[in-house]
Structure 1
Amino acid sequence: MVTGRPRGPHGGDDGGSSSSGGRPRRVPADNINAAQATIEQVAQRGRPDQGVVGGDSGGTNPGSFAPDPSSPDPMAEIMARYDRFGDSPPTIDVAANDAAHGGYGPGDAAHTVDRHGADIPLARDPNGKTIEGRIYNDTGWPKKENWSYRWDDPVTMNREVNNYVRANWETIRSNLAIDGAHSASFDAGHRVGEGYYNANMGQHAPPDAHRAATSFVKVVIKVVPGSDPPQPYLITAYPTGTM
């Protein structure tokens, strides 16, 4: 479960600043560029059309319109959401997070421990769920994969996830405010897990699982549906054989 209390809305709602003159914090400049691209079409619809009708250089397109001052400001809404995630990064207990958020629909259900937990056996057993067996689509897996890894232990899993969140919270909450999701890979710089890769990936040949350790980790974070203030949760975090 993701813990930590996001700050309340800056100004009382998602639409802008408060009457006392306070303003939401600005999203870092690198992420503002992404936000501006996201709302470009909305902004474009608010600009008067500069075209002419019938060759009269003084006329305007009768379909043009002025910006509607009552319309929500998309950038203000993004900055308000960003502020409501709070300055302090949450602390994640991965197992509790999975238990709390594992019942969502496909693509949104938390599943780190179910697919990458340290308790899943490594070596293949066609009659049971194993890390190696995922390469072959054995029992317990919905489909085969070219990479299948597990965490070394729960302590490593929680430590690496929370170290990443603390070090990258500004980027994470910016992505959550703009897109509702954050996805990234990183190199922990030391072993975090082990598993198997398919040595025949990309070839017309049967899977051939090779065992390996890894320092690479993939993290995906989303926002709890309907949460207000917005609450981040971990979709998955797992050791992987490639960045």
Structure 2
Amino acid sequence: MRRRDQLGDEPPRFDIAANDAGYGAHGAHTDDRHGPGIPLPRAPGRQTVEGRVHGDDPWPRPENWSYRWTDPSTMNRTVNDYVRRNWDRIRDDLALEGAHDGGFDAGHRVGQGYYNDGMYGAGPRHSRYAETSLVKIRIRLVPGSDPPETFILTAFPVGIM
């Protein structure tokens, strides 16, 4: 209960770029992999959203879904709205487990990207453009922090949950 009380009644507010810069050593990576600055279509030798579906360098492996945030404002607003609306549950999870994982429908477009329409053996790997309102978020406490220090491990648009 002490840790829960230390987290407070008011939810924290996050700026994702600052969060990633401050907590990259703890794995924070929203902007690196899902930020609005990552180019959409494949381009040789560049990290792109579509290239992730195909496992293009520098991505370590192909993914069946790859989306980026539409813009920094949408990213920050969507994350902070979720944290504010769900703070009681998030705070309980953080106090008990040191982690909160959630998924939600923002109710408006938050991201754009590609999915592999040949996934699960339905055919060859092929990327298809899509937009989404779905989001996954992972919030963590810095290990050993006292008082507890909260950060966004990652928050990203998804095609399915």
TM-score between the two structures when normalised by the length of structure 2:
0.97
- In structure 2, the partner of 1:99 is 21
Deviation at residue 206 of structure 1 after TM alignment:
3.0
Segments of 5+ residues of structure 1 without an aligned counterpart are 1-78
**Runs of 4+ residues deviating >6 angstroms:** none
State the Cα distance separating 1:140 from its structure 2 match. 1.9
Partners in 1 of 2:91 and 2:69 — Cα distance? 25
2:81 matches 1:163: yes
Q: Shift of residue 204 of structure 1?
A: 6.6
Q: Could you say what the CA RMSD is over the residues aligned between the two structures, in angstroms?
A: 1.0
Distance 1:181 1:228 in 2: 15
1:19 match: none
How big is the shift at 1:205?
A: 4.0
- Deviation per CA, 1:148-206, whole angstroms, max 9, x where unpaired? 00000000000000000000000001001111100010000010110000111111743
DSSP 3-state at the match of 2:119 = coil
Q: Which has the higher helix share?
A: 2
Q: 2:69 aligns with which of 151, 156, 178?
A: 151
CA distance in 2, matches of 1:199, 1:102: 33
Whether 1:122 aligns to 2:44 is no
Sequence identity, in percent? 57
150, 175, 184: which one pairs with 2:102? Answer: 184
Q: Any stretches of 5+ residues in structure 2 without a counterpart?
A: none
The letter for the 1-side match of 2:71 is: D
1:117 shift after superposition: 0.6
Tell whether 2:142 aligns with 1:220: no
Task: Establish whether residue 110 from structure 1 lines up as the match of residue 32 from structure 2.
Answer: no
Number of the residue aligned with 1:139: 57
Specify the code of the residue in structure 1 equivalent to 2:76. Answer: N
Q: Which one has the largest radius of gyration?
A: 1
Greater relative contact order (CA < 8 Å, ≥ 6 in sequence) = 2
CA distance in 2, matches of 1:193, 1:205: 25
What is the count of residue pairs matched by the alignment? 161
How far does the alpha carbon of each residue in 1:50-70 deviate from its partner, in whole angstroms, 9 at most, with x for none? Answer: xxxxxxxxxxxxxxxxxxxxx
1:86 maps to: 8
